[in-house]
Structure formats: structure tokens, C-alpha cells
Structure 1
Amino acid sequence: MRRKLLSCLLTIACVSSMLAGCGSSGNTSGAADTAPAESKTEAVEGTGTQAAEESAPADTSSVNATGTVYDLGGLKLPICDPGSVTLTYMGNDTWCAGVSYNDGTAVQKEIENRTGVHIEWDTYSSDVETVLQTRLASLEGLPDMVEIPPFDSNVGVDTYSSNGVLIPLNDLIKEYAPNIQALFNKYPALEAMCTSSDGNIYALAGWWGDINDYVPDYLYIRQDWLDNLGLEMPETVDELYDVLVAFKEQDANGNGNPDDEIPMATKNGIKQLYYLMTGFGYDTNSLWYTDDNGEVHYAAVEDQYKDMLAFLNKCYSEGLISDDLDGTLLTQNITEDKVGIVCHDPADNMASSDDLALTSNPECDYEFMPVLQANENGTARMTKRGLTWHYYGITSACENPETAIQWIDYVYASEDGLMLYNYGIEGMSYEYDADGNIQFTDLITNNETYTSAFSALRSIGAWPTYFINDSGEAFMKIFEGTKVETACKDAYGNMEDPFPEMLGTAEESEVYTSVWPDLSTYLDEMFTAFVIGTESLDNFDKYVETAYSMGMQDIIDIKGAQYARYQEIVGK
């Protein structure tokens, strides 16, 4: 997830020669028919953008497509005469073992067929940030399009816009990217989190605003263990404690060994146990939050938070929480049928955890837990995962920024591009049944090499790591008819929006980058120390005092100013 950044205004010259060969006049062989009337519309449904609504249907007569061409939202394909423009992209490689964008995938080739734009891929599966930072710092050999480091923060957007690496995209979007503009109109939060303090957009954020409406990220629990012991699903802290004790003492997995159960473990480190904070009076499980007056708070330095730490320390001292502090052994322990509750994991991972545990116990059944409440009448709700993740921009080295933004508009925001993104290629990875519903092919559902649908889709280039815009509807289709779908439907419309991660001013970013790395490390280390008992909770006030001496108030003030800017943009 991301954080802040700085700012600076750049200008670009739109030279007519850059447009040579671009437009919809290209002529390629093997063109596919356009989509059926019911799936081919002039504007993306629900966007409400006047520009898209008034645009004429796209001319796709010269598009070389393998399957159906869907709504283009006013964009014309091909973008340029096929092969007349080559763009370079640098960033993360696929998340599929043995598959690289550098070698080409079916979806990448299909995108090139449709857009006419050739992409030279320069992607990496390891040390990506180091490679990117080195390249961007040198200001030499810049790619046309880039994933912006550091990935766990958004400060890179200001860094590389201030030094001239990234160009502003506002005018390009307005003139050449109707689908991005429609996406901004549909999701004001996205535009807000792409907008720097100077009002310019230097990068587009990977957007999880749609999929995270569907996918809860919380705790899941062994329902079969609850059933074995005659226990109800825990809904309060006291009930959770009783369940954890029973899991530890009553041979919950039924293997005859009462000492091998791990009542609760974490996926991404013990600090993720803060997800339990709703059980101690917080409205959501977000460390950053606002009160009724709009004032920004950070929960980890508040007295109320101490109660949760005391509970976690009690649980850890009694062996109810795994001592695998970094979660390194979680997969192994799940496979060995030892883990009762997994803390901080999205709902879809229940399925993979089931698959792991089933190798030891055919009765394994992980189910999503309800949000812990402070009491039986509690109204706390879980927070959605972050809305944005990683940023992507066009560099000053790009000689065809108009073509680049149109290509981005296609893959990132058009319906046709997102069909390739989320479902792959019609006839290869999906087909329509007699009722017009999408059905995945055996390549996706019965792939011997890539057993999960996600991996199978990624093996052909779908669900990419670049210009992310994941679809909740497509996600639900992948898990149709499973308990993951049930958990997601239960959560849909019942989650709080996360605290927005806005881009910072130059001053904010300077303070943030000088303060937050050390401060956040200290906060995490003290959380662990309080939980495992190497630091007494008698020193909690001293811990808070130290956090403020390290700049906690400065960070809270920055977050407050950014939240105010977010409200101003979203409410405009």
C-alpha cells in the first residue's frame, strides 16, 4: 500500500509529428466483426460522462481482433497504424511462475493486434524497485511508461515529477483518454488520489476501488473445529478468547494430539493483529480514521488501543497466538492441519487454505469470521482494503505521449481492454453460454499446470501487474458457487471505505520521508514488544511520548491536510 509525495509543474509540447500514423485509418487483415448490439454501446454504462455519451460508436472495421470487440468509450481502434509506434514499459513482471511479459503472452499480443501499438516490455520479478530507482535516478535510458518506486508509498510520484521524469497527464487525459475521464467521473476518489497538490496528475494509481467493494480482508476460522467442539462462531472479544482456549486445550483437529493446535496465526506478521481493534470499541479496523468532527486520528497512540494490546499479550503468554512472528511458517502449519484462525487475509485465500489443510484433514472448512464487536450490540464494521496500489506514469523521454495515453486509456479503463484484462480472450479463456453468460473454458478451470483460476488467467496475461484496475464482478465470477462468493456477498455494501492515501505537497513529502520510516518501524517494533511481553504495558505512556517526540504529530497533521484536500476534490 502507498503513502505521500511532493509536487512540481511540467509542460509538454504537443507536436503534430508525434501523431503521424496515429488514428483509426489503419488497415489490417483478419479483422473481427464488432460486438453484438446488446454488448456494444456508445458509453460505459453508469459513468455519466457527457464526453463518452456524445461520442460516436468506435470504428472497429480495421481492428485485428481474435474475439469480440466491446465498448471502446469513444476511443478509436487501432490507435495507430499497426507497428508504426513502439512504446517501452518498465515495471513488475507477472505474478505467474514461468510466465514473463518480456516473452509475450496471449493477452499482450491481442492488445497489440487491437491497438496497433507495439510495446517493448522491460519487467522484473525480483529487485524491481532497485532497478527502477537506479534507472530513474540516472535520467538516462528512460522508458516511455513506468511503474513508480517506491511501491509501498506514493512519494515517488512527487520525486519524479519534481525532477522532470514524469510529465503531467491532465491535458492528455482530457483530449485523448475518454475512458480514464469516465473512470474519474465514476470514482472521484480515484481522481483525488491521482491529483498532486499543485492540481496536476502525474501518475495513474492502480485502482482497487471496484474489487475491494467485494473482497473482505479480515479473519477466517476453522468451522469444522468449532463444530468438533460444539462452539458458536465468536462475535465478541470474550467469545474469541473462549474459542482460542478451546482450540488449544481440546484437540480441535481431532488427531489425538491435544498440543499441536495453533489457535491463531497471522499471515503478514504479528503486527496485523491490530485487525482485532473493533473488539475494543473502534468503529473499524483502520489505524487511521476520522472522528465525527472530521479530525484525523492514529489509533496506535491512543489509550483505547492499550486495552487491545493487553488482551493480545494475555493471549500470547498463554500460547493462543503463534510465535511465528513473521508468518514464515503459516503455509506449513496450515498444511499440517494446525491453524484455527488466520488473521489478516482476503476472503479468497480461504479456498487456498482449505486446499492446503485438506492434504491432512479431508474435513477442513475455513469460514470468514464476522467483525469482532466490543459487546453484543456493537456496530463496528471492517474496513475495505486500500483503494489504490502502485502508480504508473509517462516519462519525459516519451516521444509519443498522445499514443501512450490512448494505449493506457485502452488497457486501464476501456470496457474492451478490461474484458481482456479480467477474462482473457474470448474463445480461449471464456465463452458465452446459451443465456449469454460468461463461462470460463477448461484452460482456466481445469488447467493441469496452473490449478487456480487466477494463476491460469495470469498465465495468458490476464489480471496483469501494470495499470491495475481489478474487477469485482470478474472476481466473483472466478469464485462463483463457492463459499468465497458467499463471504464476499455478505460483506458487499457492509464495509467502510479506507482512509484515503493522498499525494503530498513537496513540504509534506519532505517531512513524511524524513519522519515516517523510522517512526513506523518504532511503532511496529513496540507493538510486537508489548504483545510478546518484552516490553511492559506499564510503559505505554512512555511509548506514546516517544512516538510524538519522533514526529507523530507532524504525520497526523500531514494526514489531516491531505484528508481535507481529498474531501475538497471528492466533494466538488
Structure 2
Amino acid sequence: MRKQWKKIAIGTMIVPALALAGCSSGNNGNNGNASASPSGSSVVSETGFPLTEKPVTLKMFTRIAPANGPFKDMPVFQDYEKMTNVHVDFTEAPTDGFQEKKNLLFASNELPDALYRSGLTQLEATRYGASGQLIPLEDLIDKYAPNLKKLMDEYPEIRSGITTPEGHIYAIPGIVTLGAARTDKKWINQAWLKKLGLQMPETTDDLYNVLVAFRDKDPNGNGKQDEIPMTARAGTPGQGLPIVNLMSGSFGLDQQLGYNINIADDKVEIWMGSDRNKEMLQYLNKLYKEKLLDPQLFSQTEAQYLAKQGSGATGVFFDQTNNNFLPIQDQYTGMAPPAGPHGDRLQAQASPIARDFGAFAITNVDKYPELTMRWIDYFYSDEGSTMLRFGREGENYELRDGVPYYTDKFLSVEGAQGKITPYAGGGAPHLIDDHVASFINPPQVQEAQEKLDPYMPKVRYAAPMFDEATAQKVNELRNDIDKYYEEQSTKFIAGALSFDKWDEFQKTLKKMNIDELQKIYQDAYDTMKK
């Protein structure tokens, strides 16, 4: 297992569609072998449904998003209970305060059988695995999770990204093989381009000139200067600035190993203090100062940002799908990353295939770990993912050429999706591939993704798993460095901090031991390469 972790965590970013027919445990009938759990009190079938002849209740802790209704009312869990003979008693914790409740579970050792959509960090998985509160999953996956195992065999970067140096897997991720579900598209107002006689911007200079025209030439024709040339999400404190991630590729700045890292000639560089980063921040400062970048960039809520997408008054914005501007979708089209001052044209902002780390884990109090692993594995098949994301055929969705689509009647009810699926709100442990992506990957989104595909990194190195001591050190260093970088970047972009202070900024990063952090990532990369 240790050798497996050392393999290169490489993934091509243009991924072929998966063919999981025959892989799902849903079509085998109840004629498989059986295995007793360690307690000896239940028998789990290795294949087919139900998963167990004797009804079993599992307790799971989960995050419930604002968009969700109670999990017990979701058709996926109601219908899956009938299929499996497994009832799940969910303890639902709201997003606000969720982390504190999760911490308390482990601190008090009052654990559920499993954690579902619980966003375990790598440090948490390693720490609680080393303490014995989370159990190793690698053997259970090999024997009881054929869907998940198939994906891990097909995409080795999944396994390397979730396996500790000691060879253990303590948490499994959400898996996204669909490239379009791992990127924010660059949407531009093509109606405004046409009205003003402008060409699609190919460089950052072109983009600047287009944004100036959007600001000054009244493309919405109302006689007011109320257009928003470009906007982006405000982001979450401590998670980085979305606008930086979205524009970094035009300045040759990648995001390898799950961080602000370039890799060239096997050398790892954390680029936060680099000249290229300074150039990017200067460019963004120019846009912000000239009111080409949304003045509310750092303060707007998610609801405000989404409303701007649907308003038709925005020139350029960034999002994974077209869901939020469907009524005016013809007004927008996707564009390629603009080439920067050195000719760089990289789509750096792209999530890995193992997109949602720590989406599911099993604790040491679970009497039926084999059954629990079989229970979750179904959602890594097309059939299980369809059930989780779309609900009931006829009631919530219909099949067209074998592909599920929400019915128009279902979509006409505001907020209906969040009530039937834990996918709404993000982070659910399941597979997202082209088969289940009709809602997030319609033709317009596919076309926008095709604009990005030529510029996606050919090699994507997964975030490494560290041993607990190293993970703790990385966490300590990054907490300080990331907070400082985010604060200073915001000031540089907004003009609250002069670029005359750049040398001081670099020196502070040095004092915060960014070189030590870079060496840790270099060592991890070197280990992967062996």
C-alpha cells in the first residue's frame, strides 16, 4: 500500500466517460456470497440486494445545507432503505456551526457509526485514524466496494490522494470524472460584444479593453452607467480569493498539489511571493481601480452574486453551470482563458477527480463496517448516483436516451431540488460523471468547457496525504501564511496597500517560514515520484 501511495498522482484533465455497466451492485440479485460482521450479529451479502436479510439501523452524522429538507424525507434514502434493508438514522447539523459540532463528536468520543457529507480534512482523517476513532477502509473497499474500487483503479490519483504514508485510507471522497463539474467557466456577455462590435478577448489586454467598453458604451442601452463589467464570488475567509484562482493561469501560476504551487523540472515553487503573482495582482488592481471589477467583489453574499448572473447587467463572471442565468442564457457564452503578458494561457482553477475529500468515513463504534461500505458504494455507480441526484423516475425525473433529466414540472417548483437530494449544498459522497450531469452540464455548459479544455493542465498532482505530525505542521504554517496572503492580496487589489510594499510582503512570507512549507511539499512530491 505504501508503494501505491508513492505513485505519481497524475490525472489527465480531459476525462473519458465511464462505463460502469456490470460494475454496480444493483443488478446482481440476492445470490451473492455472505460475510459476517466482526460482531457476528449480522450478515452482509457481498453482492445484490437486499444488503442484509436482517434489518439494520446505522447512525450517521451529516451536514445539512440551507437548501435541504430533512434527509428522512428524501426519496433517495426512503427508497434505498427498501432496497437494502438498512435504515439510516441521520443526525443533521446545519452548515453554520457544523465544524464545532463535528469537533465535539470526536472530543467527547460520542461517535456515530459513520460520517456522511462531513467534509473531513486530511489532517482530521489522519489524526482520528491514528487515534483509532476512524477505521482503515482499504480492505473493505477491495472486498465490498466494487464501484469505488473500479474508479480508483481507473484513476490512480484518487487512491494516492486519500492514502496516508502508512498505507491507510480513513475517508473516501466525492468523485468527479466529468471535467465540466471541476471548473468554473468564464462566461462573457456575447450580446454586448455583438452590440459594441467587439471581438472575443484573446489576451489580458484584450479583456481590459472589452471591460472598458462594457463600462463606458452603455451596452444594455438604458442610458445609465450601471453595467458591471466583471464580477466574481467573494469567497470564504481562509479559502483564498476566487478572483486570484480564476485569473492565475493567465500569469503562469498553477495550483498543483492542492495549493498555490507550480512544478517545473521537478522543482516545487509556492508562488505567492513571486514576480508573476505581483503582475497578476497589479492587473487586478488596475481593473478594480478603474471600476472594471465589481466594487462589491470582497463583500457580496452568494445570493447577491447569483442575482447578478441572472440580471443581464454583468459583462463577465465565473461559474460552473448556467443554472443561474437560464432565462437569459443566449446572452452569454464561454470564453477561453486570456493569454497573459508572457503568453501563459492556463486554466489553473480546476478541482481534482477526488473533488470532495473526506466525504464519508466509518468509525470504530460501527458494528457493521462491511455493510456500511456496501451501503455507500452503490452511490459510486451510475444507478446509485442517479437515485441520489434525481430522486424518483416519473415523479422527479424522466429518462431520455437512458440519461436522467429533471422534469419541467419538478423544476418549476422553487427549491424542489434541495428537498430531494443531499447533492444540493455540495459535498455528498457519490459519483458525478457524464451520465448524471444533465442538470449541470447541458449543451451550453459543454461548449463553455470546450473553450477551456485545450488549456487545462496535462498533469494534475493530487494534494499529498501527510503523516499526522507533518500534517499538523503544514496546517500550522498554512493557517498563518494563507490568512496573511489573503489579507494582503485583498489590500493590493483594492489599492489599500501600495506595491511599493512588495519587498516587505515577501520578507514577511519568509519570516512565516514559507520556505519550510515549500520544502515539505517538495519532499512529498519527491516521494510521489519514486
> TM-score by structure 2 length?
0.82
Instruction: Please give the residue correspondences for 1:133-282 in structure 2 after superposition, counting only pairs within 5 Å.
Output: 133-140=103-110, 142-147=111-116, 153-208=121-176, 210-212=177-179, 215-257=182-224, 259-269=225-235, 271-274=241-244, 275-282=246-253
Letter in 2 for 1:123: E
The separation in 2 between residues aligned to 1:304 and 1:376, in whole angstroms, is 9
How many residues are treated as equivalent by the alignment? Answer: 486
Q: Secondary structure at the match of 2:283?
A: helix
Letter in 2 for 1:129: Q
Letter in 2 for 1:118: H
The separation in 2 between residues aligned to 1:490 and 1:458, in whole angstroms, is 30
Shift of 1:221: 1.6
Letter in 2 for 1:226: L
Instruction: State the partner residue of 1:11.
Output: none
Instruction: State the partner residue of 1:288.
Output: 260
The separation in 2 between residues aligned to 1:389 and 1:40, in whole angstroms, is 21
| 1:437 matches 2:438 | no
Give the 3 Å change call, closer, same or farther, for CA 289–441 of structure 1 in structure 2: closer
Instruction: Please give the residue correspondences for 1:349-360 in structure 2 after superposition, counting only pairs within 5 Å.
Output: 350-355=322-327
Instruction: Please give the residue correspondences for 1:79-478 in structure 2 after superposition, counting only pairs within 5 Å.
Output: 79-83=51-55, 85-93=56-64, 96-97=67-68, 99-101=69-71, 103-126=72-95, 127-140=97-110, 142-147=111-116, 153-208=121-176, 210-212=177-179, 215-257=182-224, 259-269=225-235, 271-274=241-244, 275-282=246-253, 288-324=260-296, 325-328=298-301, 329-334=304-309, 337-342=312-317, 344-346=318-320, 348=321, 350-355=322-327, 365-374=331-340, 379-387=345-353, 388-391=355-358, 392-411=360-379, 413-432=380-399, 436-438=401-403, 440=405, 442=407, 446-450=410-414, 456-461=416-421, 463=423, 467-478=428-439
Give the 3 Å change call, closer, same or farther, for CA 504–440 of structure 1 in structure 2: same
Q: Verify the 8 A CA contact 1:89 1:145 in the aligned structure 2.
A: yes
The separation in 1 between residues aligned to 2:152 and 2:141, in whole angstroms, is 10
Give the 3 Å change call, closer, same or farther, for CA 449–397 of structure 1 in structure 2: same
**Which has the larger Rg?**
1
Q: Verify the 8 A CA contact 1:371 1:382 in the aligned structure 2.
A: no
Shift of 1:409: 1.9
The separation in 1 between residues aligned to 2:83 and 2:267, in whole angstroms, is 49
- Identity rate of aligned residues, in percent? 25
The separation in 1 between residues aligned to 2:431 and 2:442, in whole angstroms, is 20
Q: Secondary structure at the match of 1:296?
A: strand
Q: Verify the 8 A CA contact 1:287 1:299 in the aligned structure 2.
A: no
Shift of 1:321: 1.4
- 1:147-196 superposed Cα distances (whole Å, 9 cap, x missing partner): 48665x42111121122210111222223222222221112111111101
Letter in 2 for 1:144: D
Letter in 1 for 2:198: L
Letter in 2 for 1:121: F
- 1:84-134 superposed Cα distances (whole Å, 9 cap, x missing partner): x1111101125634x111x33111111111111111111223322211111
Give the 3 Å change call, closer, same or farther, for CA 441–297 of structure 1 in structure 2: closer
- 1:242-292 superposed Cα distances (whole Å, 9 cap, x missing partner): 1111111111221111x2222111213493222223333447899634433
Aligned to 1:484, which of 442, 445, 469? 445
Q: Verify the 8 A CA contact 2:254 2:260 in the aligned structure 1.
A: no
Q: Verify the 8 A CA contact 2:180 2:446 in the aligned structure 1.
A: no
The separation in 1 between residues aligned to 2:194 and 2:434, in whole angstroms, is 32
Shift of 1:332: 4.7
Q: Secondary structure at the match of 2:90?
A: strand
The separation in 2 between residues aligned to 1:547 and 1:230, in whole angstroms, is 45
Give the 3 Å change call, closer, same or farther, for CA 437–327 of structure 1 in structure 2: same
Q: Verify the 8 A CA contact 2:117 2:428 in the aligned structure 1.
A: no
Shift of 1:445: 5.4
Shift of 1:364: 6.8
The separation in 2 between residues aligned to 1:40 and 1:374, in whole angstroms, is 41
Q: Secondary structure at the match of 1:478?
A: coil
Instruction: State the partner residue of 1:65.
Output: none
The separation in 1 between residues aligned to 2:362 and 2:126, in whole angstroms, is 13
> TM-score by structure 1 length?
0.77
User: Highest relative contact order (Cα 8 Å, sep 6+), 1 or 2?
Assistant: 2
Q: Verify the 8 A CA contact 2:189 2:315 in the aligned structure 1.
A: yes
Give the 3 Å change call, closer, same or farther, for CA 448–416 of structure 1 in structure 2: closer
The separation in 1 between residues aligned to 2:27 and 2:230, in whole angstroms, is 55
The separation in 2 between residues aligned to 1:409 and 1:518, in whole angstroms, is 38
Q: Secondary structure at the match of 2:264?
A: coil
Instruction: State the partner residue of 1:6.
Output: none
Give the 3 Å change call, closer, same or farther, for CA 445–485 of structure 1 in structure 2: farther
Shift of 1:351: 3.7
Shift of 1:466: 6.2
Give RMSD over aligned pairs: 3.2
Letter in 1 for 2:489: F
Shift of 1:543: 0.7
Give the 3 Å change call, closer, same or farther, for CA 565–181 of structure 1 in structure 2: farther
Shift of 1:82: 4.8
Give 5+ residue unaligned stretches, structure 1.
Answer: 1-38, 45-51, 63-72
Shift of 1:467: 4.8
Give 5+ residue unaligned stretches, structure 2.
Answer: 1-18, 33-44
Give the 3 Å change call, closer, same or farther, for CA 480–132 of structure 1 in structure 2: closer
Q: Verify the 8 A CA contact 2:62 2:116 in the aligned structure 1.
A: yes
Q: Verify the 8 A CA contact 1:385 1:498 in the aligned structure 2.
A: no
The separation in 1 between residues aligned to 2:228 and 2:179, in whole angstroms, is 29
Letter in 2 for 1:193: G
Q: Secondary structure at the match of 1:219?
A: strand
Q: Secondary structure at the match of 2:280?
A: helix
Give the 3 Å change call, closer, same or farther, for CA 563–76 of structure 1 in structure 2: farther
